[in-house]
Amino acid sequence: MAKSCCATDRYPPSAMNILAALKNRFHEVLTEYAGDSDVQNLLDMIKQAQDARFGDYQANFAMPLGKRLGKAPRDVAAEILEKVGLDDICSQTDIAGPGFINLSICPDWISSQIHVAAGDDRIGVSPVDDPNTYILDYSSPNVAKPMHVGHIRSTVIGDSLARTLRFLGHQVITDNHLGDWGTQFGMIIYGYKHFVDRQAYQQHEVKELSRLYRLVNQLIDYWKSKNGLDTQQQEIRRRATELERLEQIQPTGDKKEDKKHSKMLARAREQLSQARKIFESMQTKVAAIEEDEQLKGYAQQHPDIAQSVLLETAQLHQGDATNRQLWEEFLPKCREDIQRVYTRLKVQFDVEYGESFYHHMLPGVVTGLQQAGMASESEGAQCVFLDDFETPMIIQKSDGAYLYATTDLATIAYRMNEWDADEILYVVDHRQSEHFHKLFAVANAWNAPDVKMHHISFGTVLDETGRPYKTRSGVAVGLEGLLDEAVSKAFEVVSANDDGKPNGPELDEATRNHIADVVGHGAIKYADLSHNRTSDYVFSYDKMMALEGNTATYMQYSYARVRSIFRKGGVDVDRLRQQQHPMILGHSAERALAMMILRYSEALENVIDDYRPNQLTNYLFDLAKRFSSFFEQCPVLKAEDDAIKQSRLRLCDLTGRVIAHGLDLLGIGIVEQM
């Protein structure tokens, strides 16, 4: 039932997402069949075709509709198609299988749309009709210690979501909720008072502070382990006895019983081995201190270090002059240090209100919740009990100190007052999901009933053995070192590739450095963004820097190829854009590429739908693949005639624009040559 295309002049020259256009067309007719309430469900069954053999788009609503109406789905499909009339948009409409409606978009319509997109600053992506105010809370490192690999996902995902939401027309406030007020500062204050190396501090304050942080941490761990050894030993004995007991039990012959028994045995063995592992790790920590005379001395002089650290923290919070002064001295230096990483990553925040910013509001949170009848005392602490959770949310400890839950509630209150947020997104790793569930429940019930809050959780970065990514010594890998490594690997690849060019190298040292910088940082970011954020992923330099397949480099390379065509052809891009030559999509590779360009807005909608930047990376990868295919099959500068050449140049230009724009939304740069 192929149909021919007719004129396209019915369409105003405004940007139109194809899917939206199709849904628009079906809307009225489907309402006749389903009524207003259900029509959206049916419209959602119009989507991109799963397979190119089925055309460009497919509509799947005829099957459920047929069922409901007691008619054959294929008949329903034919009836609806007849009523809707898609002759101007579709070159072909087919009913296939049980009642799939397959739609092929008419080439004329594609070229008219691509023509519109080319003349549009936003490359065919309209801003949303109803902008919201979003607060994005991401990165949020603890400023007392260097940033490590665990911080990058939050930073990169949050930054990309902020850019995307903003481009779509939403009001966005990005906030780096720094950890600048917690126990870590008690630790460095304590460390500074007792163990500082003056000379080292003068040379590099932050380095020395982070050494002090690690030292104090290590000493606390030492005493905790040392004091826990006996208990752990008992635990091992208890587990061993239990295991022995279970091993004595003879099979009963009853299949079910025996299966249960062998399961218990396996569990008991696992628990025993776990207990031993914990014991060993405690022993290692103890030994590390005791084998070092200096550390051993420190430990013996500071047996109550854990308590003392909490005391230092409490004194800071209570306004103790010395601690406050130290905090004011340390904080700006720590922040500068962290800022260096943001500068490299080109990540910016609208505000950076750390935990300390909310300190004065915390008593009000507790009294407010008490007055609302939501908080009550339990075991000396102020708690909010919630129906859906076994454990309460603790908002004030029995010693009077506040917790991060308290700060988070104060933060929400502030954000509502200051910005009247519609939505708050927390880009934080998945381990904190229970905390956020509680937090949202309390805030919605208490003082922020209408705001939508989402925990944009993400998985752990693993090493090649599937363990959380750490160095051999067990410390999380420093972020700066990671970035340096990526850049230097990129430099090697850039140089090797340039040296291997048939007509000799084209790039000087400075250019190579610049390219390595863009490519290296892009590779790291892309690795994070291209995985579905909810899953853990295995971090591998080699995969990331392979610079082939689904990597930022592949997109950057595509862009560079576009630029190279323009350079070689001496093309004046501004003129090209002004001249607006007609788009000719005669070759299947041209059509496929054009279609992909028009789907950019659909890809961005998919990103926002569930806050998943990997929807954009997937799209860009598809786009770049189509471009490579086009590049192979369709000569541009040597096209058979000038009309085709001009059309192809415009297609190249658009591809380059979408790639550059999409990468920018991911926080990734492009280069002219590589």
According to CB under 7 A, which residues from 495 to 554 bind RNA?
A: 497-498, 500, 515, 519, 530-532, 534-538, 540, 543, 546-550, 553-554
Q: How far is the CB of 623 from RNA (least distance, A)?
A: 11
CA distances from 66 to 31, 61, 83 (A): 15, 8, 16
Binding to RNA (CB under 7 A) within 444-463 occurs at 459-460, 462
Q: How far apart are CA 167 and CA 170, in angstroms?
A: 7
Give 215 or 306: the residue with its C-beta nearer to RNA.
Answer: 306
Q: How far is the CB of 433 from RNA (least distance, A)?
A: 5
| Residue 29 within binding range of RNA, rule CB under 7 A | no
Give 116 or 623: the residue with its C-beta nearer to RNA.
Answer: 623
DSSP β-bridge partners for residue 384: 375, 393
Binding to RNA (CB under 7 A) within 238-297 occurs at 263, 266
Contact window for RNA (CB under 7 A) among 17-25, 50-58, 220-228, 291-299: 50-58
Among residues 5, 20, 21, 49, which is the contact residue for RNA, using CB under 7 A? 49
What angle do helix axes 479-499 and 321-345 make, rounded to 10 degrees?
20
Among residues 398, 417, 471, 488, which is the contact residue for RNA, using CB under 7 A? 398
Give 73 or 116: the residue with its C-beta nearer to RNA.
Answer: 73
Q: How far apart are CA 655 and CA 638, in angstroms?
A: 19
| Residue 493 within binding range of RNA, rule CB under 7 A | yes
| Residue 107 within binding range of RNA, rule CB under 7 A | no
CA distances from 175 to 205, 312, 417, 430, 539 (A): 26, 28, 15, 19, 27
Among residues 21, 69, 96, 573, which is the contact residue for RNA, using CB under 7 A? 96
Interface map 181-220 toward RNA (x if CB under 7 A)? -xx-------------------------------------
Contact window for RNA (CB under 7 A) among 49-57, 204-212, 441-449, 475-483: 49-57
Give 391 or 579: the residue with its C-beta nearer to RNA.
Answer: 391
State the Rg of the chain over Cα: 31
Q: How far is the CB of 15 from RNA (least distance, A)?
A: 25
Helix segments in 89-133, DSSP class H: 107-118
Q: How far is the CB of 588 from RNA (least distance, A)?
A: 11
Query: Please, which residues have CB within 8 angstroms of residue 53's CB and are 6 or more apart in sequence?
Result: none
Helix segments in 362-457, DSSP class H: 362-371, 404-419, 433-446
Among residues 397, 454, 514, 587, which is the contact residue for RNA, using CB under 7 A? 397
Among residues 494, 598, 607, 670, which is the contact residue for RNA, using CB under 7 A? 494
Binding to RNA (CB under 7 A) within 408-437 occurs at 430-435
The DSSP line for 489-546 is: HHHHHHHHHHHT-TT-----HHHHHHHHHHHHHHHHHHHHHTS-TTS-EE--HHHHHT
CA-closest candidate to residue 497, choices 426, 560, 584: 560
| Residue 379 within binding range of RNA, rule CB under 7 A | yes
Give 398 or 417: the residue with its C-beta nearer to RNA.
Answer: 398
CA distances from 189 to 14, 210, 215, 325, 337 (A): 61, 11, 12, 10, 18
The DSSP line for 571-613 is: --HHHHHHH-PPP---SHHHHHHHHHHHTHHHHHHHHHHHT-T
Contact window for RNA (CB under 7 A) among 104-112, 318-326, 595-603, 621-629: 621-629
Residue 390, judged by CB atoms within 10 A of its CB (0-12, 13-18, 19+), counts as exposed
According to DSSP, the β-strands at 423-429 and 133-137 are parallel
Give 604 or 636: the residue with its C-beta nearer to RNA.
Answer: 636
Binding to RNA (CB under 7 A) within 290-329 occurs at 310
According to DSSP, the β-strands at 46-48 and 57-59 are antiparallel
Among residues 5, 629, 661, 664, which is the contact residue for RNA, using CB under 7 A? 629
Q: Please answer whether residues 672 and 521 qualify as being in contact, where contact means their C-beta atoms are separated by less than 8 angstroms.
A: no
| Residue 339 within binding range of RNA, rule CB under 7 A | no
Among residues 130, 574, 632, 640, which is the contact residue for RNA, using CB under 7 A? 632
Give 126 or 460: the residue with its C-beta nearer to RNA.
Answer: 460
Binding to RNA (CB under 7 A) within 357-376 occurs at none
Contact window for RNA (CB under 7 A) among 55-63, 241-249, 329-337, 658-666: 55-63
